[in-house]
A = this chain, B = another copy of it.
C-alpha cells in the first residue's frame, strides 16, 4: 500500500521522533529502522525526506540550537555573554545525548554563522578588539561544550572505601554522585563567573592604559 492518501512522514515529524529516541536510548540507540518503526513506516521511507542519517542529526542539532539566545548583547557585553552561555548550556543539558554528535560534523550551518556574527558584533560594539572578541566567543563555547560533555561529577564511583584508602583528598567526592547535576550546574556557573570577572578586569585595565598610555611601573 505505497503512496498513502495523506503523507505519513514529514521532516519535522521525523526530527521529533528521532530526538525522542535519542533522549530515551542515547545516540547509539537511534537506528534508522527503529526510527522508522516508531513512525509506523519502513526504514528506506525516511530517505525520501532525509538523504542521510547525518543530515537528519544535523537538523535535529540545529533545532536544539534554535533555543540559544544571542539577543542580550543590547544590554551590554556582560549580559549578552552570560545570557548566551546560559541558554546555550541549557539547550545542551536538555538533550545531553546529542552532544557527542556535535563533536563531529562541520556544522557550520547558516544559523550557526548568524549567531557567531551576533556575538562577535555584540562584543566589538562594546569595545572589545576584534581579535579578542573572537577569542572570547571561542572561550565561552569551550566552557559550554566542555560542561555539556564533561559531566565531571559522573566520573566518580560510589564506593567510599576506594577513596578512604587510596585517594585521601577525595573522601567527600563520593557524595558528588548524588547531586551530580547540581554540581555540574554550579561548576559551570562558577567557571562562567570567574571567566567574565577576568574579562571585566582586563577590559578595565585596557581602558585605563589607553587613557594614560605607556607608563609602566608607576
Residues in chain A within 8 A of chain B (CB atoms)? 99-100, 102-108, 112-114, 116-118, 120-121, 124, 130, 132, 134-139, 141-147, 149-159, 162, 166-170, 172-173, 176, 183-184, 186-188, 190-191, 193-199, 201-202
The 5 A-B residue pairs with the shortest CB-CB distance, nearest first, are A146-B146, A142-B146, A194-B198, A139-B191, A121-B169
Residues of chain B with a CB closer than 8 A to A196's CB: 198
CB distance from A171 to the nearest CB of B (A): 9
List 9 A-B residue pairs with CB atoms under 8 Å apart, sorted by A's residue number: A106-B154, A114-B167, A134-B187, A135-B183, A135-B187, A142-B143, A142-B191, A198-B198, A198-B201
The answer to whether residues A102 and B191 also contact, given A167-B114, A184-B138 and a CB cut-off of 8 A, is: no
Which B residues are in CB contact (< 8 Å) with A112?
155
Copies in the complex: 2
Asked whether, in the complex, the Cβ of B169 is within 8 Å of the Cβ of A118, the reply is yes
The chain B residue sitting closest to A193, CB to CB, is: B198
Q: Of B100, B138, B155, which one neighbours A116 at CB under 8 angstroms? A: B155
Residues in chain B near residue A141, CB distance under 8 A: 146, 150-152, 155-156
Distance in Å: Cβ of A3 to nearest Cβ of chain B: 35
> How far does the alpha carbon of A149 sit from the alpha carbon of B170 in the complex, in Å?
28
When A132-B190, A198-B196 are in contact, do A169 and B120 touch as well, CB less than 8 Å? yes
Closest Cβ–Cβ distance, residue A85 to chain B (whole Å): 11
Nearest Cβ on chain B to A164's Cβ, whole angstroms: 12
A163 to chain B, nearest CB (A): 8
Q: Are A113 and B169 in contact (CB under 8 A)?
A: no
Q: Is the CB of A170 within 8 A of B116?
A: yes
Knowing that A99-B103, A194-B198 touch, tell me 15 more A-B residue pairs with CB under 8 angstroms: A100-B104, A106-B153, A106-B154, A108-B156, A116-B173, A117-B167, A124-B169, A138-B187, A139-B190, A141-B156, A142-B146, A146-B149, A194-B195, A194-B202, A201-B201
